[in-house]
A and B are shown apart, each in its own frame.
Chain A
Amino acid sequence: MEILSNGVGEFRFTDPDVIRAWMRDHKRRDFVDKTCSEAEAIARFVKDGDYVSFDFSSFTRGPLGLIREIIRQGRRNLWYCAKFTLMESTLLAAAGAIARIDVGFMGLGDTLNRAVEAGSIQVTEWTNGTLTLRHLAGGMGVPFLPTRAMLGSDTLAYSGAKVVRDPFGGKPVALVPALHPDVGLIHVHQADVYGNARCFGPGVSPLETAMASRRVIVSADEIIDHDDIRKDPSKTTVPYYMVDAVVYSPFGAYPGGVQALYEMDFEHFAEYNAMERQGRLKEYLDKYVYSVASNTEMLEKRVGLERLNALRRRATVREGYR
């Protein structure tokens, strides 16, 4: 295949046979209870230097409880996949957890932009769609997938994509390398103790993220009986053998919302926005992460039942999300 141009961006790539062996050796096929605390899940499955991906966004069904635990445990040098990222990439950056970002779309406020301007965080350009396509390639076990996105743009020039001549039709086409995150973080509506997981409504790439990642942590707003999974299998988004840990995490997407369960907390985002603009994210992290031992303690002491109930009360649009 004729290579017409190469993007100069640094990227992660893994031989598909290495991944196949990983999937054979590390993804348990037996039905074992994988529930654990968020602290245990992050301690066991997220290491310094890992490539971390997540689904879906910090406003909707994002794994914010898991992100806060990564910060609490002081992970460093992460390579973060910003395929649709807002608040959580900013918090990770403010905590000094991130060394590199694949963009996508990054940040809520200018904190991350300033870090890139200063050279303290390295960036490789992609797009939301091509990062998601890289997860699909990874999840399919193929080394790359073609796309007609990014062609002609500087985004491609600073990505890790290649432009080749389509060996069938002859036109230029972009190839994006498969991505295998070390860790995929996915917050879902429901999961059983084995990791069979359901999320309802639209999403970015919950299944592709689970398939592509070496280790998968699912946090779930509700734990459901395994028989419920078998009674309605068309609702299963992710099958259990892809999942390494299941964290029971009510309000695990807070301050984001989960469709039909609770709305996002606008007051919290207003507080965050103000603190971000004032350069006070350390203080924010002290309040919501470092000074509490867990997501539950944060919800109890920093948010409170009254506010949580109000967010539930506001989630009145339910149809379709079950």
Chain B
Amino acid sequence: MTTTAAFTEAEFMIAQCARVLDDQKTAFIGFGMPQVAAILAQRIQAPQLVQVFEFGAIGSEPLTPFVRNTMGGPANCYRSIAWTTMNQIFAQAQLGLIDYGVLGATQIDLYGNVNSTMLGTDYLRPTKRFPGSGGANEVASFCWKTIVIMMHERRRFVPRVDFITSPGYLDGTPEARERSGLPTGTGPWRVVTSKALFGFDDDSHKMTLIGVLDGLQPDEVLSEMDFKPLVADRVETLAPPTAQELSILREQIDPARTIIGKTARA
């Protein structure tokens, strides 16, 4: 497939996130970038990706253009197979019916713990407060494979998050999730950034570099992180967004570029 030279960081990470979503799976979709990635996946390799949302919509095929903030409205919930409510859909996830969870994140650490609550050392007097978990804690606790999509900015990749809003592999010790009571066999699976793709080591549960965007060296990715992840023996080269991906993103999904126009901050 041909590639287009110019693309934004958001376009690459959305395309890369869409590529890791297999067809005929269920996926819990978070607000914003995960929505765009899921729609893109549906329009390329995963037409039967079953999107579910925390307000209970199941299996929607969202109308495009995508419009930010209309998540619970008719466009995003178009052609669903069921409309339920929050307790019902989180019960389904807790039961083990939801394969992927796709989330954005403010801050992440070596073990895939996610912070969207606060920065600082004193919970009562945060240096910076954020809106909180939303439904992210449930998604990261219950779905079989959690995928985190985030801009590759140094301040977002920290050795230890200030606050574990949503659980990754916690302190990284063997079976830390299971010992805390979280469902067996769940946890962060991929971290998709504007520069790279990470997995998690089976034994140490440490974040592991498995792919870098074509044209970048692994060191250029690692230097933009506040901790040292593991590096896979063979680091895959990730293709830039293809012409097909870009045309669907730009012409069908987000012509206003509210999501795909985003770039990293220095």
A binds B: yes
Binding site for B on A (CB under 8 A): 56-57, 59-61, 82-84, 103-107, 112-114, 116-117, 119, 123, 125-130, 132-133, 136, 147-155, 158, 163, 171-174, 201-208, 257, 259-260, 263-264, 266, 269, 315, 317-318, 320-321
Contact partner, A127, options B77, B129, B133, Cβ 8 Å: B133
Across-interface contacts of A172 in B (CB, < 8 A): 179-181
Across-interface contacts of B70 in A (CB, < 8 A): 59-60, 257, 263-264
Contact partner, B142, options A149, A153, A315, Cβ 8 Å: A149
Across-interface contacts of A84 in B (CB, < 8 A): 54-55, 86, 134
Does any Cβ of A come within 8 Å of B84's Cβ?
Answer: yes
CB distance from A168 to the nearest CB of B (A): 13
Across-interface contacts of B80 in A (CB, < 8 A): 202, 320
Closest residue of chain A to B55 (Cβ to Cβ) is A202
Question: Top 5 nearest A-B pairs by Cβ distance?
Answer: A172-B181, A152-B180, A317-B74, A105-B134, A60-B72
Does any Cβ of A come within 8 Å of B215's Cβ?
Answer: no
Closest residue of chain A to B132 (Cβ to Cβ) is A103
Q: Is the CB of A154 within 8 A of B55?
A: no
Docked CA distance A155–B170 (Å)? 13
Docked CA distance A290–B83 (Å)? 37
Across-interface contacts of B78 in A (CB, < 8 A): 317
Closest residue of chain A to B177 (Cβ to Cβ) is A152
Q: Is the CB of A202 within 8 A of B53?
A: yes
Given contacts A59-B70, A152-B180, contact A201 B77 (CB under 8 A): yes
Closest residue of chain A to B171 (Cβ to Cβ) is A152
Does any Cβ of A come within 8 Å of B130's Cβ?
Answer: yes
Closest residue of chain A to B82 (Cβ to Cβ) is A202
CB distance from A204 to the nearest CB of B (A): 5
Q: Is the CB of B129 within 8 A of A117?
A: yes
Q: Is the CB of B55 within 8 A of A153?
A: no
Does any Cβ of A come within 8 Å of B7's Cβ?
Answer: no
- Among the interface residues A59, A84, A103, A105, which one has the most CB atoms of the partner chain B within 10 A? A105
Across-interface contacts of A208 in B (CB, < 8 A): 85, 87
Across-interface contacts of A174 in B (CB, < 8 A): 181
Q: Is the CB of B90 within 8 A of A107?
A: no
> Could you pull out 23 A-B pairs where Cβ atoms are within 8 angstroms?
A56-B55, A57-B55, A84-B54, A105-B134, A106-B131, A125-B133, A127-B135, A127-B138, A128-B86, A129-B135, A129-B138, A153-B165, A155-B133, A172-B181, A201-B77, A201-B83, A202-B53, A202-B72, A202-B85, A204-B85, A204-B86, A264-B73, A317-B74
Closest residue of chain B to A116 (Cβ to Cβ) is B129
In addition to A116-B126, A203-B83, A320-B80, 6 A-B residue pairs with Cβ atoms within 8 Å of each other are A57-B72, A173-B181, A204-B55, A207-B85, A264-B69, A318-B74
Docked CA distance A59–B75 (Å)? 13
Does any Cβ of A come within 8 Å of B182's Cβ?
Answer: yes
Across-interface contacts of A158 in B (CB, < 8 A): 123
Does any Cβ of A come within 8 Å of B141's Cβ?
Answer: yes
Q: Is the CB of A150 within 8 A of B141?
A: yes
Q: Is the CB of B54 within 8 A of A154?
A: no
Given contacts A127-B137, A202-B83, A317-B63, contact A259 B181 (CB under 8 A): no
CB distance from B209 to the nearest CB of A (A): 25
Docked CA distance A150–B56 (Å)? 20
Main secondary structure of the interface of B (DSSP, over half): loop
Q: Is the CB of A147 within 8 A of B94?
A: yes
Closest residue of chain A to B73 (Cβ to Cβ) is A60
Docked CA distance A83–B87 (Å)? 12
Q: Is the CB of A113 within 8 A of B75?
A: no
Closest residue of chain A to B141 (Cβ to Cβ) is A149
CB distance from B166 to the nearest CB of A (A): 7
Docked CA distance A82–B70 (Å)? 19
Across-interface contacts of B54 in A (CB, < 8 A): 84, 128-129, 204
Does any Cβ of A come within 8 Å of B164's Cβ?
Answer: yes
- Interface bits B107-132 vs A (CB < 8 Å: 1, else 0): 00000000001000001111111111
Closest residue of chain B to A135 (Cβ to Cβ) is B87
Does any Cβ of A come within 8 Å of B167's Cβ?
Answer: yes
Contact partner, A125, options B73, B117, B127, B135, Cβ 8 Å: B117
Does any Cβ of A come within 8 Å of B239's Cβ?
Answer: no
Q: Is the CB of B87 within 8 A of A125?
A: no
CB distance from A271 to the nearest CB of B (A): 14
Q: Is the CB of B73 within 8 A of A205?
A: no
CB distance from B139 to the nearest CB of A (A): 9
Across-interface contacts of A154 in B (CB, < 8 A): 117, 123, 163-165
Closest residue of chain A to B84 (Cβ to Cβ) is A202
